[in-house]
Amino acid sequence: MATYAEPLPRYDLSADEVAQLEVLLADLVRSERDPGEMRFHDDAWEYAARLPTGLRAALEDFRRTDPAAGLQIFGLPVDDTVVGPTPGDWQAAAASVRARREEFFLALVSRCLGDVFGWSTLQAGRPIQNVLPIAGEEDQQSGHGSDTLLEWHTEDGFHPYRCDYLLLFGVRNHDRVPTTLSSVRDVQLPDDVRRLLAEPRFYILPDDEHLRQLAARDPHHPGLMRMIRMRETPEPVAVLFGAADSPFLRIDPFFMRCVDDDTEAEQALKALVTELERVQQDVVVGAGGLLVVDNYLAVHGRRAFTARYDGTDRWLKKATVTRDLRKSRDSRETAADRVLV
């Protein structure tokens, strides 16, 4: 069977739009506000209104009509010298202000799609996270690995409050390391397999990163306790859900198993995995590029690469966005909070 993947739509910023953005981003940088703090995102609607009209229209269409599994945005210049060397870990990246301009852009684009939120178990709950290789974590199934292929997955697929959209902005990617992406809309499966995948016959467990970071920093944190419970006593879920003729997807094969060793479910899952592999495409998020992933339609991962740890490695900024923050109220300390515990 031939491989076929629907190409992603793209939005190219015009010279006038870039000039408009530069004024907006310069104003924000001078304001000394911090997009790494949740307070900024409470006010981001005001600044997002100053984004170019064409860009906002493209984002609104993507949000409202579900036209594709992803959207690429190109054209914002990134000065490789100004942003500084790729940091050695996410803590150093979070503490640096050198790429704050790029974080503002990511934050405002995110606001056009919904509400940015964070996890207490990941990067201290920061709303803007850093994806970069960390020495000693080369083989981890996380955004900090390098030598090992990051297996494709639904972002936080184990969790009922996972994001609607995952956004990746390129600060640096000299080696053009690809992000992998597959769309559930491109797969071809028999109706009986689709029906089986739509039944709650699968467990998806929390990935190691949700457990590892907080265990090292605060082993008694309630967020960690919740993740441990979800790993030890998972709820059975369906892999396909929504409209039968155009389903949504949640899957993370590396952290999955079937309920009661259900062989029929296992075969159906294997069929879906094979199809998602068949239609997989490589998407390079280069400097100044932004990839919006629809987390209900797409799975994503990353090709393996060799990290140098010399300040020139791949460095992305990441945001997770929900269309409905209210639904996660039982996992946030207050109604206004944006961090899931």
Q: What is the pLDDT of residue 1?
A: 46
Tell me: is residue 60 an annotated ligand-binding position: no
Rounded CA gap, 10 and 250, in Å? 24
CB neighbours of residue 59 within 10 Å: 23
Beta carbons of 113 and 164 less than 8 angstroms apart? yes
CA-derived radius of gyration, the chain: 19
Q: Residue 184: which of 196, 194, 172, 174 has the closest Cα? A: 194
In a domain? residue 196: yes
Q: Work out how many domains the chain is built from and give that number.
A: 1
In a domain? residue 22: yes
Rounded CA gap, 114 and 325, in Å? 8
Beta carbons of 120 and 152 less than 8 angstroms apart? no
In a domain? residue 4: no
Token readout for 235 is 């709820």
Scanning 32-176, the segments in alpha helix (DSSP H) are 38-48, 53-65, 90-95, 100-111
**Residues of the domain holding 189:** 10-326
Beta carbons of 207 and 307 less than 8 angstroms apart? no
The contacts of residue 276 (CB under 8 Å, 6+ apart) are 152, 182, 184, 187, 251, 299
Q: What is the pLDDT of residues 184-242, one digit of tens each?
A: 999 999 999 999 999 999 999 998 888 888 788 888 888 888 899 999 999 999 999 99
Rounded CA gap, 10 and 2, in Å? 24
In a domain? residue 201: yes
Return the DSSP state at 321.
E
In a domain? residue 48: yes
Q: Residue 286: which of 99, 138, 84, 72 has the closest Cα? A: 72
Tell me: is residue 155 an annotated ligand-binding position: yes
Q: What is the pLDDT of residues 111-149, one digit of tens each?
A: 999 999 999 999 999 999 999 999 999 999 999 999 999
Report the length, in residues, of the chain. Answer: 341
Q: What is the pLDDT of residues 247-294, one digit of tens each?
A: 999 999 999 999 999 999 999 999 999 999 999 999 999 999 999 999
Beta carbons of 86 and 201 less than 8 angstroms apart? no
In a domain? residue 228: yes
Return the DSSP state at 30.
H
In sequence order, the β-bridge partners of residue 302 are: 150, 179
CATH code assigned at 81? 3.60.130.10
In a domain? residue 340: no
In a domain? residue 71: yes
The rounded percent of the chain whose pLDDT value lies above 70 is: 99
Span 155-167, mean pLDDT?
A: 98
Q: What is the pLDDT of residue 215?
A: 84
The DSSP line for 152-221 is EE-TTTTSTT--SEEEEEEEE-TT-PEEEEEEGGG----HHHHHHHTSS-EEEPPPHHHHHHHHHH-TT-
Look up the pTM and report it: 0.96
